Amino acid sequence: GNSVTQMEGPVTLSEEAFLTINCTYTATGYPSLFWYVQYPGEGLQLLLKATKADDKGSNKGFEATYRKETTSFHLEKGSVQVSDSAVYFCALSDPTYTRTQGGSEKLVFGKGTKLTVNP
Amino acid sequence: GAVVSQHPSWVICKSGTSVKIECRSLDFQATTMFWYRQFPKQSLMLMATSNEGSKATYEQGVEKDKFLINHASLTLSTLTVTSAHPEDSSFYICSARDSQRGVYEQYFGPGTRLTVT
């Protein structure tokens, strides 16, 4: 079945360090890929997405490129800030999920990676 | 914009009782809402998809008679855990899809921590 594997945390970095959180996926067909971020006490927020191979999603200095050949969607940021401390989830939309009334796309999530950035 | 709230944020109940969790889209209409469950250090697992005005679609292995879902309006979906047991203790998260936006956009609530004693 469809699944997402992301690197286990926690990850602890100093401010201005380079960040990589690895994410690989298994899917039939051509899923869309997402990174969500969950700040303490808040709900998951969409950070970035890519809908087809070689697409690069970017937002708030974070980037991830949809690599079909390696089935990966690694999250990167060149210089992290303390405010980036959060839990990051990689996810894919299940392309085989049958659309129900009103339309819906099933999301399959990785386990999440907790990032702590120290000043 | 696109805020989803959940109530309560945490609840403790006794084994055998029922608990209702509300999920509201505050500033948009949501024809579709999703209910997830998250165990410690685990990923979010989709429990069911809730469509306004129709029956919810449950994922394989989720007991529909135990987890009752009602999506009575475009801004409210409820999850009722009936006859709760300690193994139902978990973090329950809802999301809502804005009817007017793209199909991939889901907005998540902050979650509800359920503890069954």
Span B70-83, pLDDT tens digits: 988 889 999 999 99
Give contacts of A42 with chain B, Cβ < 8 Å. 110
CA separation for the pair A30, A33 (Å, rounded): 9
Q: What is the pLDDT of residue A96?
A: 57
| The pLDDT of residue A98 is above 50 | no
pLDDT at B103: 58
pLDDT tens digits, A13-57: 999 999 999 999 998 878 889 999 999 878 889 999 998 899 999
Burial code (b: 16+ CB inside 10 Å, e: under 16) for B26-43 equals eebebbbbbbbbbeeeeb
Cα–Cα dist A10/B6, whole Å: 27
* B56–chain A nearest CA distance, Å: 10
- In this complex, do A106 and B49 lie within 8 Å of one another by their Cβ atoms? yes
Q: How far apart are the C-alpha atoms of B58 and B82, rounded to whole Å?
A: 16
What digits encode the pLDDT tens for the residues B17-49? 999 999 999 988 888 899 999 887 778 899 999
Residue B101 binned pLDDT confidence (cut-offs 50, 70, 90): low
Whole-Å CA distances, B45 to A106, A119, B29, B101: 10, 34, 24, 24
Contact A106 B105 (CB under 8 A): no
CA distance A81 to chain B (A): 23
